[in-house]
Amino acid sequence: MIMYILGIETSCDDTGVAILEAIDNKCRLLANVVSSQIKIHAPFGGVVPSLASRAHAENLDICLKEALEINKISLSKIDLIAVTIGPGLIPCLLIGVNGAKALSYILNKPIIGVNHLEGHIVANILHETGESFESRAWLLPAIDASKKIFSFPAICLIVSGGHTQLILARQIGDYEIIGETRDDAVGEAFDKVAKLLGLGYPGGPIVAKRAEKGDDSAIDLPRPMLTTKNLDFSFSGLKTAVLYETKRNAEKLGDEKYINDICASFQRAVVDVLTRKTFRAVEKYQVKTIILSGGVAANDLLRLEMNQRAEELELFCLTPHKEFCADNAAMIALAGYFNKERAGSWRDISADANLRLD
């Protein structure tokens, strides 16, 4: 039996529409359209909710038409609509949720609300097996290039602009938050440091690029909460330490090498904390699988450190295809597929900006 799932994502500043084809526990991604708002928010150094929701309203229909056109799929073929209902910015969530509810009503199709963070987790299950977009097949469960199959329970590290959490995943759909940030999310910290240094927005890719040319031991920065017994995080103090460093050495802010060294030292401090805390959780819960998720999962140093440490301990570390690290609707469609038994009426769907995963 063939099932076509329409995924819609508007939790923050990326408008996403995807179409997933599911046949006998195998999926093929027919379309994954993302409209970025980076140019809109760059002048402000961060996401402006009112501008983001307006852009979603303008782009959602355009993205939907493009997704359908890629493989000549008509709306009448859609069997299930999956939409992000939270967490996220409520003005943005409402655009996607209300659009999905309207489609569900008009098409008389079932709809399912998806937790955005679960979408990030299952994004790891999207593995490319074809040479081109048109021929990609996505295997379920995930099989990587070396043919290893991951197993539950697993420790999931979700790192993005709005979230930094450690999750104990017993199965898909069965989660427990075992650690989270007490202040800034790690992606937000990257953005703020980039803004302090006048590097632009979004900060993550820019800081990482400059870090490649820097000395990560040049500047002594703190590793917040690294020695605490709990699994929580804090990045506000690290960000403040960078601020004080730049104030003490304001005359060096025009020095390219100095900026590169700050970026490298900051990135190293972040990766040290994330890696140590993750493997502390692995030891505590005795799991064999680690899942890295979210926009910051695209960071090359973090991916390298996580994979190397996992290999040393003979553990399996899943890192998502970079295409699926940032917000996208493919992961929402796939999460909808896994939870399709819960699908129901559009009347039962509502947005929740503070939606929890556990």
At 201 the three-state DSSP class reads: coil
pLDDT in tens, 245-254: 999 988 888 8
Q: CA 41, 43, 46, 48: dihedral to nearest 10 degrees?
A: -50
262-287: average pLDDT:
96
* pTM > 0.75: yes
Burial class (CB within 10 angstroms; exposed 0-12, middle 13-18, buried 19+) of 70: middle
For the chain, what are the domain ranges? Answer: 2-126+324-348, 154-319
2-126+324-348 and 154-319, same CATH topology: yes
pLDDT of res. 235:
94
Which tens digit of pLDDT belongs to each residue from 25-78? 677 888 999 999 999 998 888 899 999 999 999 999 999 999 999 989 999 999
The structural architecture, per CATH, of the domain 2-126+324-348 is: 2-Layer Sandwich (3.30)
288-328 pLDDT tens trace: 999 999 999 999 999 999 999 999 999 989 898 888 999 99
Q: What is the mean pLDDT of residues 326-345?
A: 94
Write out the two tokens for 316: 């399996």
Query: 154-319 maps to which CATH number?
Result: 3.30.420.40
Average pLDDT value for residue range 201-225:
94
